[in-house]
Amino acid sequence: MSSSLEKNMLILRSSDGEEFIVPEVVAVMSKAIKNMVEDECASNTIPVPNVDANILAMVIEFCKKHDESEAEAASDLKTFDSEFVNRGQEALYDLITAANFRDVKELLDALCQNVAEMIKGKSVHHIRIQFLGYQLFEILTSNFIWNIWCDRDFD
Amino acid sequence: MAMEVNSERKDWISELPQCILVDIVNLVDTKDAAKTSTLSEKWKYLWTMRPDLKFDHHNLFGGNHEIRKFHIEQYHFDFVPYRSEFVKRVNHIMQQRCEGTRMHSLNVTCFVETEHDSVDQWISSAINAGVEKLELLLGFRPHFEQCFIFPENLHYNFPYWLFSGPSASFLKYLHLDTCLLRSPIAPGDFRGLSNLTTLKLESVVMEDDFIASVFSNCLLLKDLTLKTCDSFSNLLVVGSSLRLVHLKVIRCLKIVNFVISAPNLTTFEFSGNILLLSSLEAPSLEQMYIYVRGGSGIPHAFNLFTNLPRFENLYLTLPIDLRKVEGKPKSLGSFRNLKQLELFYGGDSELTWLLSILNALPLLQNLSLMFCIERIEEDQTMQGINVGGTTLNQLKHVKMGGCVGNWYEIEFAKFVLRAATKLEKLVITPVKRYYLGDGEDFDLSLVSSWPESDRARVHGSLKGEVPAGIQFIVL
């Protein structure tokens, strides 16, 4: 397979053994992969441990879009980003881990932004449900931080 | 308040690496970040590790909390509890931060009377945490009286000598508003500012000595902005070793002597009396914005510009009030190389010499014309402006602002459409706004859009004249 591979293409192999043929320019948006390619310690097939096929496909989709749309309006890309990262918690967690581990800065930024939106302007109650899935009642109503920051006079 | 417990969800987010969690809380307001401290033990101090700290009203008190409108008499009375709450919250965060937690940037936007001792402490903490970018904007004015000017004795005396203390200073970017900068006493006072690349001073009180010290000590300085600083009189931007690339001097009204000799300067903005700029040596200059108020400044400006070796490639913006130009087109005609011009236009009587000005500017690319007559004047029969030998070969963008639909506006638009062979875009709008320098526009418009009937009339009378391929917009 690698012999018939076009120039400037790389094969990425997910943790569960699925292979993806990806243009090099797209693959090197991962800084970790870029370093491997530059150090020439990569054969045509690059293993991507800890990232399964499902998540790897998503990461590749994101990188392809960002590679293609350099000329596109920034606002279009932003819309794409916010739709792309709008996923369930499990996928979000896996994507963040993959983006962090593989050092894909643009993707990590978009994902962190998405999680930050879950906090922005929300009540403590809401944030707890969102992240922990439950509300602890004994919290912190006597807590020092709570007293300073949730003073009713200023809310 | 019973809460349904969803067993499928677990504490998924807390399993992420700490550096990512810090990145996430760094993206939200301080007030929201504080809420995350109640999530769990792991989260308790995460929010204090944020590298970028921004303390302003919105950030500390939340988005929905609007400051009430105050009258000046109430100011001292009602803002005392508010100010002390502000200080309490900032102190709390600063105290919670662990030693050794890096701080990248600190922005404090608050009242001028904020306890100066507390501000000193915040700055000390920032220095110890290796701060690179510091913004101290103490000119926060509540809704009353926009032009409220703080008396000088209220200004915060910015302790820049603290940066020369035992821990090395990493400060690269400094922005001060409504502060006092006293001139250095000891030679070492300035050491801590020697890594500065950007310095922006707004409504800052300082003397000539301070400015001189900046140029002799901050040798890496690339970007300098002085805005509405009304206390120094000499501005000598001189030195063969100056690395200064960008200079903005905006409405500093006390300047009497202004000299520039800067080998690396590429952009320069100046809003003030051009006659006070006695010399301009800038071999690398590429872009310039100069606001010329009256007619007498024009010949002087021309003399300055002719000494610039790269003048032919200069991107020059020059807002000029035509009504005040003495000698009219003749003096302006010398600006043969002008690429961008903003004009204020006082009425139909000026139409002919507006055209002769354009005739004299063969390289003009962008023209912004602000019409100052706000009433509809009686139509005059006009044969159409004779294009004659006028060639506007370079003109690409024309914006006509402050339009009300007068006949001469329409005639001028027709003229542009006929004479400007390379025209790409023509915008006609009732909005009257002009550039003030430092990225700000000033909006003088009475209305933001036309009544539909006027819009249709203007559009209709010009539609037939627009050649294919030109972007024609009537707002």
Domain span at residue A149 reads 123-155
Average pLDDT of chain B is 81
pTM of the model: 0.82
Residues A23 and A38 in one domain: yes
Residues A66 and A90 in one domain: yes
Range A20-25 contact pairs with CB under 8 angstroms and sequence separation of 24 or more: A20/A53, A20/A56, A20/A57, A20/A60, A22/A60, A22/A63, A22/A64, A23/A67, A25/A67
Residues A56 and A127 in one domain: no
Report whether pLDDT(B171) > 90: yes
CB contact under 8 A, B12 and A96: no
Q: How far is A5 from chain B (nearest CA, A)?
A: 37
pLDDT tens profile B89-145: 899 888 888 777 889 999 998 877 778 899 999 999 999 999 999 999 988 765 544
Residue B280's DSSP bridge partners are B260
Rounded to whole angstroms, how far apart are CA atoms B221 and B211?
A: 12
pLDDT at res. A142: 45
Residues A22 and A74 in one domain: yes
Residues A103 and A71 in one domain: yes
pLDDT tens profile B335-372: 777 788 888 777 666 677 777 778 778 888 888 888 87
Mean pLDDT of the region B442-447: 75
**Dihedral sign (CA B311, B312, B313, B314):** positive
Rounded to whole angstroms, how far apart are CA atoms A98 and B297?
A: 62
Decide if B11 touches A, using CB distance below 8 A.
yes
CB contact under 8 A, A119 and B32: yes
Report whether pLDDT(B7) > 50: no
Residues A115 and A138 in one domain: no
Q: In this structure, what DSSP letter does residue B43 have?
A: T
Rounded to whole angstroms, how far apart are CA atoms B141 and B145?
A: 8
Chain A nearest-CA residue for B9 = A133
Q: Which pair of structure tokens corresponds to residue B367?
A: 């023209």
Residue A33 lies in a domain: yes
Residue A151 lies in a domain: yes
Residue A62 lies in a domain: yes
Residues A94 and A145 in one domain: no
> Worst-scoring range by mean pLDDT, A48-52, B149-153, B270-274?
B149-153
- What ipTM, to 2 d.p.? 0.84
Q: Tell me the CATH number at A41.
A: 3.30.710.10
Mean pLDDT of the region B301-326: 72
pLDDT tens profile B275-292: 889 999 998 888 888 887
Report whether pLDDT(B70) > 50: no
Of B13, B29, B62, the CB nearest to A131: B13
Rounded to whole angstroms, how far apart are CA atoms B364 and B338?
A: 6
Q: Between A and B, how many residue pairs show a Cβ–Cβ distance under 8 A?
A: 100
Report whether pLDDT(B147) > 70: no
Decide if A71 touches B, using CB distance below 8 A.
no
pLDDT tens profile A85-137: 888 888 888 999 999 988 999 899 999 999 999 888 888 778 887 787 665 55
* Total domains in the fold of chain A: 2
Among B22, B28, B82, B90, which would you mutate to test the A interface (most chain A Cβ atoms within 10 Å of its Cβ)? B28
Amino acid at B148: F
pLDDT at res. B300: 82
Report whether pLDDT(B259) > 80: yes
Q: Where residue A50 falls among pLDDT bands split at 50, 70, 90?
A: confident
CB-based contact B322:B350 (threshold 8 Å): yes
Residue B66, helix vs strand vs coil: coil
Residues A68 and A41 in one domain: yes
Q: Where residue B264 falls among pLDDT bands split at 50, 70, 90?
A: very high
Tell me the percentage of chain A whose pLDDT exceeds 90: 25
Looking at per-residue pLDDT, the higher value among B22 and B455 belongs to B22
Residue A1 lies in a domain: no
Rounded to whole angstroms, how far apart are CA atoms B21 and A119?
A: 12
Residue A2 lies in a domain: no
Decide if A96 touches B, using CB distance below 8 A.
yes
Residues A77 and A49 in one domain: yes
Decide if A88 touches B, using CB distance below 8 A.
no
Residue A68 lies in a domain: yes
